[in-house]
């Protein structure tokens, strides 16, 4: 083995043992309900599929500009303005192979050895690994269920130090479903004004999946004076059920967009040309189906929250967005040891979930409710049977 120093800083996926056991059980013919995946179970909208087919037929099969076609950059700029309230010219937009690659390139292009990145925890699994790979240090900002997994301006101020380079924000959040309301974001903006060196990565990939009744809000819109140090990441993976297309978009200051594209020019090059055409249709086409999807997610959320909170030893707050519930199982830890053992136990009872420790949390697990109601009801029945 000749692994690089950078790679040895990255932990293997903490869900590998779970996934391996789930595969083994399925191969033995066991029926496993998977509530571990982070993707909508809805079909990709037909107008998006039609655009992908048309692009193939039109021979759109060659290299495109590294950071995306000018058509898609314009469509993404429309999306940022219409859906996130961020007015940017296409020159401040870049396109990558999923939101994940945008985040990866942003960190790799800017983080030097020893720089600190503040990451609210529980976090999306890839944030800490990307930061460590880039040579940065992760500074966890712990959030708790009793505060709906949100941190305050004072919590942020307490974590900022001389080496802080980035703050990562993710609203609606994976794995907690936490949404940051405008007043909280404005408070964060105040703190950030006192620390002009700190950059912000706002990961808004779940923006359309919001149950608060209030429109989605984001820092670059609320604090336009800070926009030249905010990178807002979005995409079509979650909003348009296009996870396999691998298209993410980011809007930020020109120097950062150019730096990300410089890196991308030597890594993947342009994102898939067919997927880019599909993403144009996603951004420019009808958006009205989103409200229907959101309603279905809300009904599933309500089903899961009620069923889980009826199980002794389990507790979950009601998430405000995305399609995840972070379940606290602390009272069961004395019996099961830790949340990985609990996760394996639930798997033996036919439900795959992800332990909280995979997200920098502890004593609980994440349920993805992007599955149909029948499956969700049965999964909650199995969980109840497994722990009571
Ligand atoms: C919080 C968060 N950000 C970014 C991504 C990346 O999405 P994509 O599939 O577009 O790379 C995910 C995917 O799970 C996510 O949960």
377: CATH: 3.90.1150.10
Domain count, the chain: 2
Same domain, 219 and 355: no
Same domain, 270 and 158: yes
Q: Which of 24-38, 68-82, 203-217 has the lowest mean pLDDT?
A: 24-38
Range of the domain at 276: 46-284
Same domain, 325 and 237: no
235 close to ligand 1 (CB < 6 Angstrom): yes
Question: What element of type H or E holds 365?
Answer: strand 364-368
Residues 39 and 370: beta-carbon distance below 8 Å: yes
Same domain, 159 and 50: yes
Same domain, 121 and 253: yes
Token pair belonging to 222: 């609320």
pLDDT at position 12 is 76
Give the span between the Cα atoms of 144 and 152, in whole angstroms. 11
Rounded to the nearest whole angstrom, what is the distance from the C-alpha of residue 313 to the centroid of ligand 1?
A: 30
Same domain, 105 and 190: yes
Average pLDDT, the chain: 96
Give 231's strand partners: 201
Q: Which residues contact 207 (CB under 8 A, 6 or more apart)?
A: 83, 84, 172, 216, 218, 234, 239
Same domain, 306 and 348: yes
Same domain, 15 and 55: no
Question: What element of type H or E holds 139?
Answer: strand 137-142
Rounded to the nearest whole angstrom, what is the distance from the C-alpha of residue 310 to the centroid of ligand 1?
A: 31
Which residue, of 284, 310, 335, is where some domain finishes?
Answer: 284
Give the span between the Cα atoms of 59 and 85, in whole angstroms. 34
Same domain, 311 and 379: yes
Which residue, of 228, 250, 284, is where some domain finishes?
Answer: 284
CA torsion sign, 143 to 147 to 153 to 157? negative
Mean pLDDT of 181-198: 98
In this model, does residue 35 exceed pLDDT 80?
Answer: yes
Rounded to the nearest whole angstrom, what is the distance from the C-alpha of residue 99 to the centroid of ligand 1?
A: 5
Same domain, 268 and 238: yes
Rounded to the nearest whole angstrom, what is the distance from the C-alpha of residue 26 to the centroid of ligand 1?
A: 27
Three-class SS state of 129: helix
Give the span between the Cα atoms of 176 and 305, in whole angstroms. 13
For residue 170, which atom of ligand 1 is closest to its CA?
Answer: 1
CA torsion sign, 225 to 226 to 231 to 233? negative
38 close to ligand 1 (CB < 6 Angstrom): yes
Q: Are strands 354-355 and 364-368 parallel, antiparallel or unpaired?
A: antiparallel
Q: Which of 16-30, 52-66, 87-101, 179-193 has the lowest mean pLDDT?
A: 16-30
Token pair belonging to 36: 């571990």
CATH of residue 133: 3.40.640.10
In this model, does residue 48 exceed pLDDT 90?
Answer: yes
Residue nearest to atom 1 of ligand 1 (CA): 174
126 close to ligand 1 (CB < 6 Angstrom): no
Q: Which of 184, 141, 138 is nearest to 159 (CA)?
A: 141
Rounded to the nearest whole angstrom, what is the distance from the C-alpha of residue 89 to the centroid of ligand 1?
A: 24
Question: What element of type H or E holds 16?
Answer: helix 16-27
Residue nearest to atom 14 of ligand 1 (CA): 38
Which residue, of 284, 308, 325, is where some domain finishes?
Answer: 284
Mutate to test the pocket of ligand 1, among 100, 241, 243, 268 (most ligand atoms within 8 A of CB): 100
Helices 373-387 and 289-309 pack at an angle, to 10 degrees, of: 20
In this model, does residue 14 exceed pLDDT 80?
Answer: no
Same domain, 36 and 74: no
Rounded to the nearest whole angstrom, what is the distance from the C-alpha of residue 100 to the centroid of ligand 1?
A: 5
**Half-sphere exposure of residue 171, counting CA atoms within 13 Å on the CB side?**
27
Token pair belonging to 173: 């959040």
323 close to ligand 1 (CB < 6 Angstrom): no
271: left (phi over 0), alpha (psi -120 to 50) or beta: beta
pTM listed for this prediction = 0.96
Same domain, 206 and 330: no
């Amino acid at each position: 083995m000749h692994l690089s120093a950078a790679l040895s800083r990255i932990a293997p996926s903490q869900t590998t043992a779970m996934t391996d056991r789930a595969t083994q059980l399925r191969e033995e013919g066991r029926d496993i309900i998977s509530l571990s995946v982070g993707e909508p179970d809805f079909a990709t909208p037909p107008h998006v599929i039609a655009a992908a087919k048309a692009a193939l037929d039109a021979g759109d099969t060659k290299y495109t500009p590294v950071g995306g076609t000018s058509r898609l950059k314009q469509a993404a700029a429309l999306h940022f303005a219409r859906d996130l309230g961020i007015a940017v010219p296409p020159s401040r937009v870049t396109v990558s192979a999923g939101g994940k690659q945008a985040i990866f390139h942003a960190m790799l292009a800017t983080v030097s050895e020893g720089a600190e990145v503040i990451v609210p925890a529980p976090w999306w699994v890839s944030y800490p690994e990307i930061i460590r790979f880039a040579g940065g240090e992760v500074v966890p900002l712990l959030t708790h269920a009793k505060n709906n997994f949100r941190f305050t301006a004072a919590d942020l101020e307490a974590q900022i130090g001389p080496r802080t380079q980035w703050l990562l924000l993710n609203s609606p959040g994976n794995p907690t479903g936490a949404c940051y309301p405008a007043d909280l974001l404005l408070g964060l903006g105040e703190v950030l004004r006192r620390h002009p060196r700190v950059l912000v990565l706002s990961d808004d990939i779940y923006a359309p999946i919001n149950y608060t009744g209030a429109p989605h809000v984001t820092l670059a819109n609320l604090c336009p004076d800070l926009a030249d140090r905010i990178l807002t990441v979005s995409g079509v993976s979650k909003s348009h059920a296009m996870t396999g297309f691998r298209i993410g978009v980011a809007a930020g200051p020109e120097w950062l967009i150019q730096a990300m594209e410089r890196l991308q020019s030597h890594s993947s090059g342009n994102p898939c040309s067919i997927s880019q055409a599909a993403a144009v249709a996603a951004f420019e086409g009808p958006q009205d189906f989103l409200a229907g999807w959101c309603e279905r997610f809300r009904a599933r959320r309500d089903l899961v929250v009620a069923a889980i909170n009826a199980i002794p030893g389990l507790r979950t707050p009601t998430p405000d967005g995305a399609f995840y519930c972070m379940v606290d199982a602390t009272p069961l830890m004395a019996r099961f040891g830790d949340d990985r053992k609990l996760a394996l136990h639930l798997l033996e009872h036919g439900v795959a979930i992800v332990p909280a420790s995979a997200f920098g949390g502890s004593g609980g697990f994440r349920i993805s409710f992007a599955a149909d109601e029948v499956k969700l009801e049965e999964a909650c029945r199995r969980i109840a049977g497994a722990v009571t």
